[in-house]
Amino acid sequence: MFGAAFFHHAEGPMCRFQVGQKVLIVDSFTNEAQKVSGTVVNVQVSPHNYNGVTYLDKYTVKFSDGEQETFYELYLRSISDEADHKRTRS
């Protein structure tokens, strides 16, 4: 993971992304970010956590065409994380 930030959710545990955050969709086979981005509009916090940090949270992402789809956090990458990653690979 690229210096992932975690955010406190209203229920208490920390989540990787928060509502309003811009994200990229990650290809499940190559783990490379796709050119498809959207905005997190809902967080379904998983009951699973380790030391207060949740894992396997689900995020509903809204795309520019208005469509929405739900993804596990494994398939999302913060746009700021991707920019940092590209700078270190250049």
Query: Any idea which residue has 């916090």 for tokens?
Result: 45
Domain ranges of the chain: 7-89
* Confidence band, pLDDT 50/70/90 cuts, at residue 21: very high
The Cα 11–Cα 3 span in angstroms is 24
CATH 2.30.30.140 describes domain 7-89: yes
Over the chain, what is the mean pLDDT?
78
How many Å from the N-terminal Cα to the C-terminal Cα in the chain?
Answer: 18
Q: Could you report the per-residue pLDDT of 51-70, keeping only the tens digit for each? A: 778 888 999 999 999 999 99
